[in-house]
A = this chain, B = another copy of it.
Amino acid sequence: MHEIASRVLAKDPRAIARALRLVDDRLADCVPVLKDLFPSTGKAFVLGVTGNPGAGKSTLSDRIIQNFRAQGKTVGVIAVDPTSPFSGGAILGDRIRMQRHATDPGVFIRSVATRGHLGGLSRSARDMVRVFDAAGVDLVLVETVGVGQDEIEITRTAHTTLVVMAPGMGDEVQAIKAGIMECADVFAVNKADRDGADSAVRDIELMIALGSESMVAMSKIRGHRTHTAADAHVRVEQRATARWIPPIVKCVALRNEGVAELCKAIDRHHVWGAETEEGRARRRGRLADEVRETLREALIDAASRALGERIEETVRAVDAREVDPYTATEQLIEAFRTAPRG
């Protein structure tokens, strides 16, 4: 076993930090370490927390962590920040988050630099969850900004996804969250002491009602593009039989109001996911998504190594319009399959 892996299993905080860094930076050692850790995973509860900027995600996450800590549970936090696709550095990474827990040895916090390439962020988040999980952490909280495809992918890492909203953030802001809405297992309407909290609850109820109808109908017509027909069928089945209606909990994180009730709602979804047939089917579906996504990333990595400069030569040929990019790609794939192994 890799030395870092055995120290992570022994809950050595420095090794945990090291392993998280290996995963985030995708260093060469990360895959052997993850292979060693995998058999010890599957025990942590993974909670995704997402929502628009300004909804109060960090404050609410802070309260949820307090709640879990009060039950003697250990917590790992993965905070995903918006960053540049060019620099690879987290622009908000230096912001000190959740200072309350900075000196609590039962809380590990890791900020993730979002990277400029598709698929990488959710892969990193998922692998970091595994590091925490193998280290025996009880709760892994993954906090993301709730906009865009990346964040939707990341929520798929979680057993339970909490979507945090606040009253009066505007219709257009709500509309953009359409994708996130459908990943939500529990809604929090934070800042519920403000005007418009009840109307926000009604909006969410409406979106839930509309969503479950249209989702079943649409998934019958066409499944996720990367999935097989059989898989699309499984999804429809899941939808048709799942009876989880996302609860909506009003709270005021700043004053710690409604947080206990929110934690209970989260816990109910956790139990549903672990103990009902529908919940377990969903978890298997997530794992299937992961295998496909890992395969996607690993394929391009392997092809890049095997093809080397041929990719650059192809770019030149396409630029010169000697070949179209579609034919060129087919030729590259054939070259990859027949290339010597190494």
What chain B residues lie within 8 Å of A179 (beta carbons)?
82-85, 116
| B117–A175 touching, CB < 8 Å | no
What count of chain A residues pass the 8 Å CB interface test?
95
A209–chain B nearest beta-carbon distance, Å: 14
What chain B residues lie within 8 Å of A119 (beta carbons)?
118-119
A263 at the interface (CB under 8 A from B): no
Known interface pairs A39-B324, A82-B175, A291-B329; A118-B149 also in contact (CB < 8 Å): yes
Complex formed: what's the CA distance from A152 to B21 in Å?
A: 26
| B287–A39 touching, CB < 8 Å | no
Known interface pairs A119-B118, A291-B314; A215-B86 also in contact (CB < 8 Å): yes
A59 at the interface (CB under 8 A from B): no
Interface centre among A34, A84, A92, A153 (most CB of B within 10 A): A84
Within 8 A of B (CB), among A276-303: 284, 287-288, 290-296, 298-300, 302-303
A254 at the interface (CB under 8 A from B): no
Complex formed: what's the CA distance from A83 to B318 in Å?
A: 32
| A176–B147 touching, CB < 8 Å | yes
A99 at the interface (CB under 8 A from B): no
**Smallest CB gap from A211: residue in B:** B84
What chain B residues lie within 8 Å of A172 (beta carbons)?
53-54
| A228–B304 touching, CB < 8 Å | yes
Complex formed: what's the CA distance from A324 to B88 in Å?
A: 28
A338–chain B nearest beta-carbon distance, Å: 8
What chain B residues lie within 8 Å of A183 (beta carbons)?
85
| B153–A151 touching, CB < 8 Å | no
**Smallest CB gap from A156: residue in B:** B85
Contact with B along A41-64 (1 / 0, CB 8 A): 010000000000110000000000
A192–chain B nearest beta-carbon distance, Å: 20
A170 at the interface (CB under 8 A from B): yes
Stretch of A101-109, A195-203, A216-224, A241-249 at the chain-chain interface:
A216-224
| A326–B38 touching, CB < 8 Å | yes
Known interface pairs A84-B179, A175-B92; A150-B148 also in contact (CB < 8 Å): yes
A74–chain B nearest beta-carbon distance, Å: 22
Can you list 29 A-B contacts (CB < 8 A)?
A26-B225, A35-B327, A53-B172, A54-B172, A82-B176, A83-B179, A84-B181, A84-B215, A85-B183, A85-B224, A87-B214, A116-B179, A118-B149, A119-B119, A148-B148, A228-B304, A228-B311, A230-B312, A284-B319, A287-B318, A291-B314, A291-B315, A291-B329, A295-B333, A298-B333, A299-B300, A302-B333, A334-B341, A337-B341
| A interface, CB within 8 angstroms of B | 26, 31, 34-35, 38-39, 42, 53-54, 82-89, 91-92, 114-121, 145, 147-153, 170, 172-173, 175-176, 178-179, 181-183, 211, 214-215, 218-219, 221-222, 224-226, 228, 230-231, 284, 287-288, 290-296, 298-300, 302-304, 311-312, 314-315, 318-319, 321, 324-330, 332-334, 336-338, 341
Further 20 A-B residue pairs, CB within 8 A, beyond A118-B118, A118-B293, A302-B333: A34-B324, A38-B321, A53-B170, A53-B173, A53-B175, A82-B176, A83-B178, A84-B182, A85-B149, A116-B224, A119-B119, A145-B176, A147-B148, A149-B149, A231-B312, A284-B319, A288-B312, A291-B311, A294-B329, A296-B296
